[in-house]
Amino acid sequence: MSTIELALRIFIVDDEPPARSRLRDLLHDCSEQVALEIVGEAGNGQEALDKLMETPVDVVLLDIRMPQMDGVELAQHLNKLPKPPVIVFTTAYDAYAIKAFELHAIDYLLKPIRLKRLFEALTRARAAVPVQTEVLRDLLPEPRKFLSIHERGKIHLVPVEQVLFLRAELKYITVRTAEREYLLEESLTALEKEFATRFVRIHRNCIVAKEEIEGFEKGSEEGEGSGWMVKLKGLDELLAISRRQQHIVREFG
Amino acid sequence: MNNLHSIKQNALPDALPNFRNLGVTLRILLISNGLALFQALLQANGWADVPLRMMQIATLLTPVLLTCLLLLWAAQPWLNRLAYWHGVLAVDVLAAAVTLAVYYFGDELYRPPGRNDGYFDAVRYLLLSIMVCAILLMYFRWRSQALSRALHEARLQVLRARIRPHFLFNTINAVLSIVRTQPRQAETALEDMSDLFRMAMADMQDLVPLRQEIELSRRYIALEQLRMGERLRVDWQIQDAPDDALIPPLLLQPLLENAVYHGIEPLPQGGSITVALRRSGNELRARVENPYLARTAAPYPGNHMALQNIRERLALLFDVEARYKVESGADFYRVEITLPYMKENAI
């Protein structure tokens, strides 16, 4: 049980340095009773994801309120890791999140964190299973700020605000930014619902960023299309608008 | 009961308006002339008659009004020391006396040779002037009561911000994290924290020296820097700030708190808040500017409340002599406050 091989590998994510240092102190106190090892720490989501791809860990102690990307969103992206870690959320106070954690029996620690609570959480963590991505998505009151994309064994974070359009093709969704394309394994309907404020549907298989619409062009009449095409800013490719979505030409034109 | 004393809940005591304030003077002029217009409308026989009647009233009203304002301006320090109802009586007597004096010295202007009923006229004008005076004083009393709520709310709001879980628990957590390694710094942090609480619970009715508010703001920033480290930077442009100026308490600190919470915290790399305080003639100018990511920041009702409250307090204390301006662009947010410069020992 207490052999070195079985030591619990722990990673700390918090944007406030004193909060990380406090956790380190407490973990050090815990280490007398639980075999554990602090593998690393990060001050933001991107850094955490990069480091965790290199070194897999058992438990991530994850702060909820962080700039740029909050903890609940990061937890979703971490679930795409080959061996997703068990997440223990830490928070000073988040009425909404705490209620949801109780509901789904997700472990969380309230700051200032007590040694006893941390100890209990670590003891439980061995047996715990990662929280389902769907549950995490319900926990997040607002849309994600990044899409996490698997590519050659790595996970890329693509800021949603850089995405020009999302198009469903066969098994994947094509995510198009001004620079390049990515492939994403999610459902277009779910994405459309989550990002309803930013994207608008122009076709059964395509949603485009409202802000990026530059104009509309009348293309050739063919197939099921309405004949109208969307021109997006910084993109040469024209996207067909279906007959059913023809009204957007009036709304955004 | 002792501790209750420090958290006074009673309303602002009734007080006469500050007759040296431009806003008060303007309000008196507007309301008196408004009442005159009302009277002219009642007396007139047709539209063409209204200006004529108005002129007649103004010939007596204007000299009385201006003399009264001048005398009230001069008597302000003395009136200030009277109890409220004595003050009211004094103002009424003053207005009545001025009315009678102007009436008698006005001679034929108000008593054309044809009319003999001088006694009736004198009593009539006397009663009118006392009535107008009473209406004005009632108005000012009502106004100060309506606005004095803002003073109490300010304290409550600051208190609420202090015990906002986000601030309270994260700060305690930060202090705990340095207790073992830097006990002295931890002590200072706890002292700063109790100062912030104490100020929030203090009586809001008096003005405080500017240096005290600056000191408080520095302590607040020190606490936030403990948590946020390098991410929070403050550029204090206060070399030219007059130390002896008096300002309403908790004018600057809530602005800084907004700047930290809405401006700096959402930025991964942090940013710099500019605090500029300077004297310009008879005015004191305060400016707080912070970077602001309009896109990512969720609208937050507390922000609006703190700013609204500062505006109300300025209106109560300084009327039109204080100005308040908010500017926001794609990447910055700026609040500018201008208030009359008052010296510590001059009041």
- Secondary structure (H, E, C), B83-98: CHHHHHHHHHHHHHHH
Contact A18 B165 (CB under 8 A): no
Rounded to the nearest 10°, the torsion over CA B152, B153, B156, B159 is -110
Do both B127 and B217 map to the same domain? no
**Under 8 Å between Cβ of B110 and B279:** no
Q: Which of B99, B118, B145 represents a domain boundary (last residue)?
A: B145
Q: Looking at residue B292, which CATH number applies to its domain?
A: 3.30.565.10
The structural domain count of chain A equals 2
pTM for this one? 0.74
Contact A111 B170 (CB under 8 A): yes
Do both A39 and A135 map to the same domain? yes
pLDDT score at B5: 35
Q: Looking at residue A235, which CATH number applies to its domain?
A: 2.40.50.1020
Test mutation, B177, B265, B300, chain A, max A CBs within 10 A: B177
The structural domain count of chain B equals 2
CA atoms within 13 A on the CB side of B75: 16
pLDDT of residue A27 exceeding 90, the answer is yes
Do both B98 and B209 map to the same domain? no
Do both A128 and A197 map to the same domain? no
pLDDT score at B302: 52
Do both B139 and B176 map to the same domain? no
Considering only residues A139 and A79, tell me which one the structure prediction assigns the higher pLDDT: A79
Do both B180 and B235 map to the same domain? yes
Do both B115 and B168 map to the same domain? no
B20 burial (CB, 10 Å; 0-12 / 13-18 / 19+) is: middle
Test mutation, B160, B167, B172, B176, chain A, max A CBs within 10 A: B176
Do both A161 and A182 map to the same domain? yes
Contact A16 B166 (CB under 8 A): no
Do both A17 and A121 map to the same domain? yes
Residue B11 lies in a domain: no
Residue B9 lies in a domain: no
Considering only residues A110 and B114, tell me which one the structure prediction assigns the higher pLDDT: A110
Which residue in chain B has the smallest CA separation from A161?
B295
**A chain contacts of residue B190, beta-carbon cutoff 8 Å:** none
Do both A110 and A52 map to the same domain? yes
Q: Which of A89, A119, A139 represents a domain boundary (last residue)?
A: A139
Contact B174 A16 (CB under 8 A): yes
Q: In Å, how far from its chain's centre is CA B205?
A: 11
Q: Looking at residue A78, which CATH number applies to its domain?
A: 3.40.50.2300
Q: Which domain holds residue B243?
A: 163-346
Do both B171 and B258 map to the same domain? yes
Do both B333 and B200 map to the same domain? yes
**B chain contacts of residue A17, beta-carbon cutoff 8 Å:** 229
Q: Which of B145, B171, B201 represents a domain boundary (last residue)?
A: B145
Do both A24 and A134 map to the same domain? yes
3-state DSSP: chain B helix, strand, coil percent, rounded to 5? 65, 15, 20
CA atoms within 13 A on the CB side of B334: 13
Per the listing, tokens 């602005």 go with: B255
Do both A110 and A194 map to the same domain? no
Q: Which of B90, B119, B145 represents a domain boundary (last residue)?
A: B145
pLDDT score at B155: 66
- Is the torsion defined by CA of A206, A211, A212, A215 positive or negative? positive
pLDDT in tens, A5-26: 478 999 999 999 999 999 999 9
Contact A18 B178 (CB under 8 A): yes
**Under 8 Å between Cβ of B99 and B125:** yes
CA distance B171 to B178: 11
Using DSSP's 3-state secondary structure scheme, residue B105 falls into helix
Considering only residues B191 and A99, tell me which one the structure prediction assigns the higher pLDDT: B191
Give me the residue from B177, B267, B268 closest to A19, CB to CB.
B177
Residue B13 lies in a domain: no
CA distance A128 to A41: 21
What's the average pLDDT block by block, 10 residues per block, for chain B (347 residues)? 38 76 90 90 87 86 90 89 89 90 80 70 87 91 79 68 75 90 92 86 76 91 91 94 88 89 88 94 93 62 68 83 88 93 75
Do both A128 and A177 map to the same domain? no
Give me the residue from A21, A92, A161 closest to B170, CB to CB.
A92
Do both B283 and B340 map to the same domain? yes
CA atoms within 13 A on the CB side of B37: 6
Do both B186 and B297 map to the same domain? yes
Q: Which domain holds residue A216?
A: 146-252
Using DSSP's 3-state secondary structure scheme, residue B327 falls into strand
Do both B267 and B120 map to the same domain? no
Contact B170 A17 (CB under 8 A): no
pLDDT cut 90: percent of chain A above it? 48
pLDDT cut 70: percent of chain A above it? 96
Do both A207 and A176 map to the same domain? yes
Residue type, B114: G
**A chain contacts of residue B228, beta-carbon cutoff 8 Å:** 16
Return the beta strands (E) in chain B as ranges: 208-209, 232-237, 246-247, 271-280, 283-291, 323-328, 332-340
Q: Which of A106, A139, A172 represents a domain boundary (last residue)?
A: A139
ipTM surpasses 0.85: no
Contact A22 B177 (CB under 8 A): yes
Do both B169 and B273 map to the same domain? yes
CA distance, residue B174 to nearest chain A CA (Å): 5
pLDDT score at B4: 35
Show the DSSP H helices in B82-164 as ranges.
Answer: 84-106, 118-162
Do both B110 and B214 map to the same domain? no
